[in-house]
Amino acid sequence: MNTLASNAKPTSILYLDGVSVSFDGFKALNSLSFVIEPGELRAIIGPNGAGKTTMMDIITGKTRPDSGEVFFKGTVDLTQKDEAEIAQLGIGRKFQKPTVFESHTVWDNLELALNRKRGVFSTLFYRLTAEDKERIEEILSTVRLTNRKDDYAANLSHGQKQWLEIGMLLAQEPELLLVDEPVAGMTDAETTETALLLKEIAKTRSVVVVEHDMGFIRDLGVKVTCLAEGSVLAEGSIDFVSADPKVIENYLGR
């Protein structure tokens, strides 16, 4: 597996090679390797405990791997950086449970997420510019929350919170977006809309989606990586992956 991608490293946006990490003897990731190309939309599936969330933790700097390489844009070693630095480099992350600032308005949530200077003093004396205002308005309409911009995020529906969080990631202007189960708990209509939204987003940046919902992944119609027990089981189109006997045995069930 480790040789799979070394020649792809310079041109990739995200490059993982032989990444392993264990917690109290449990191997959460076992020599995980894969490559995301710039502009790619990739779906990652796998049973519970396959290491999907741990993988995201490693990419975003929350967890340090025991061994292996993680590179952003071929040259930036992510294992040496912390969450804030990685976010500033241009990697956004959406959590499984929608995580927004509930006691702030929708507008303030987006204002905080905007890709501006994030130091203590630059935020202390920050003033909302016309340009920033326009950007926030634009994102509000992308995530369909314009008419709720003055409401507290706590009062949004579950699906709206998910979208707000996606909106916050857009405001961050990341080059790579990691999205953890974006449609969990959504209605069918919301799920379809979310698929459209993600495809729209993926036109201008790379997106990695972790999802359980096979219908949603079919909607996305992209390359799929199936994880199991901390490493890649199969990779390819959804039909190719779901026909793989190993995947059927491990994940889809007999």
What is the DSSP secondary-structure string of 74-120? Answer: TTEEGGG--HHHHHHHTEEEE-SS----TTSBHHHHHHHHSSS--SH
Nearer to other proteins, 155 or 204 (CB): 155
What tokens were used for 197?
A: 């939204």
Q: Which stretch binds other proteins (CB under 8 A): 117-125, 215-223, 236-244, 245-253?
A: 117-125
One of 37, 77, 83, 188 touching other proteins (CB under 8 A): 83
What is the DSSP secondary-structure string of 5-18? Answer: TGGGGGG-SEEEEE
Nearer to other proteins, 5 or 95 (CB): 95
> Which residues face 26 on adjacent strands?
23
One of 14, 50, 87, 195 touching other proteins (CB under 8 A): 87
Nearer to other proteins, 129 or 146 (CB): 129
One of 100, 136, 228, 234 touching other proteins (CB under 8 A): 100
- Between CA 207 and CA 74 the distance in angstroms is 17
Q: How far is the CB of 94 from other proteins (least distance, A)?
A: 9
Contact of 73 with 13, CB cutoff 8 Å: yes
Nearer to other proteins, 95 or 213 (CB): 95
What is the DSSP secondary-structure string of 28-45? Answer: EEEEEEEEE-TT-EEEEE
Q: How far is the CB of 106 from other proteins (least distance, A)?
A: 13
Q: List Cα–Cα distances, 171 to 133, 136, 185, 209, in angstroms.
A: 11, 7, 24, 18
**Residue 204 engages other proteins in binding (rule: CB under 8 A):** no
**Residue 152 engages other proteins in binding (rule: CB under 8 A):** no
One of 2, 67, 80, 123 touching other proteins (CB under 8 A): 123
Contact of 77 with 9, CB cutoff 8 Å: no
- Between CA 5 and CA 156 the distance in angstroms is 43
Nearer to other proteins, 42 or 94 (CB): 94
**Residue 168 engages other proteins in binding (rule: CB under 8 A):** yes
**Residue 189 engages other proteins in binding (rule: CB under 8 A):** no
Residue 121: alpha-carbon gap to chain centroid = 29
Residues that bind other proteins (CB under 8 A): 60, 62, 83-85, 87-88, 92-93, 95, 99-104, 108, 111-113, 115, 118-120, 123-127, 168, 172
